[in-house]
A = this chain, B = another copy of it.
Amino acid sequence: MAAAAPPPAAALEQLSKTKMFGGHNLRFRHQSASLGCPMTFSLFLPASPASKLPVLYWLSGLTCTDENFIIKSGAQRAAAAHGVALVAPDTSPRGLNVEGEADSWDFGVGAGFYLNATNEKWKNWRMYDYVVKELPKVLTDNFEQLNTSCASIFGHSMGGHGALTIYLKNTDKYKSVSAFAPIANPINCPWGQKAFSNYLGTTKSEWEAKDDKFLAEQLLAGNFEEACKAAGAPLILRMQPGYDHSFFFIATFIDDHIAHHAQFLKSG
Select A18's contact among B19, B25, B248, beta carbons within 8 Å: B248
- Give the residues from 232 to 259 in chain A that come closer than 8 angstroms, CB to CB, to chain B: 242-244, 246-249, 251-252
Bound state CA distance, A242 and B20, in angstroms? 9
Bound state CA distance, A247 and B159, in angstroms? 25
Are A18 and B244 in touch, CB under 8 angstroms?
A: yes
Chain B residues near A72: list those with CB within 8 A.
71-72
Chain B residues near A25: list those with CB within 8 A.
248
Select A19's contact among B19, B77, B243, beta carbons within 8 Å: B243
Are A247 and B21 in touch, CB under 8 angstroms?
A: no
Shortest distance from the beta carbon of A68 to any chain B beta carbon, whole Å = 10
CB within 8 Å for A19 and B242 given contacts A25-B248, A248-B25: yes
Chain B residues near A246: list those with CB within 8 A.
18
Number of interface residues of A (CB under 8 A): 20
How many copies of this chain does the complex contain?
2
Shortest distance from the beta carbon of A10 to any chain B beta carbon, whole Å = 26
Are B247 and A19 in touch, CB under 8 angstroms?
A: no
A74 within 8 A of B: yes
Bound state CA distance, A158 and B77, in angstroms? 26
Chain B residues near A18: list those with CB within 8 A.
244, 246, 248-249
Shortest distance from the beta carbon of A258 to any chain B beta carbon, whole Å = 13
Bound state CA distance, A71 and B248, in angstroms? 8
Are A19 and B248 in touch, CB under 8 angstroms?
A: yes
One digit per residue, 1 when the CB lies within 8 angstroms of any chain B CB and 0 when it does not, for chain A 18-57 equals 1111100100000000000000000000000000000000
Given contacts A18-B246, A71-B72, 12 further A-B contacts (CB under 8 A): A18-B249, A19-B242, A19-B244, A19-B248, A20-B243, A20-B251, A21-B252, A71-B71, A74-B74, A74-B77, A76-B248, A76-B251
23 pairs across A/B with beta carbons < 8 Å?
A18-B244, A18-B246, A18-B248, A18-B249, A19-B244, A19-B248, A19-B249, A19-B252, A20-B243, A20-B248, A20-B249, A20-B252, A21-B252, A22-B252, A25-B248, A71-B71, A71-B72, A72-B72, A74-B251, A76-B248, A76-B251, A77-B251, A77-B252
Closest 6 CB pairs of A and B: A74-B74, A20-B248, A19-B242, A18-B248, A19-B243, A21-B252
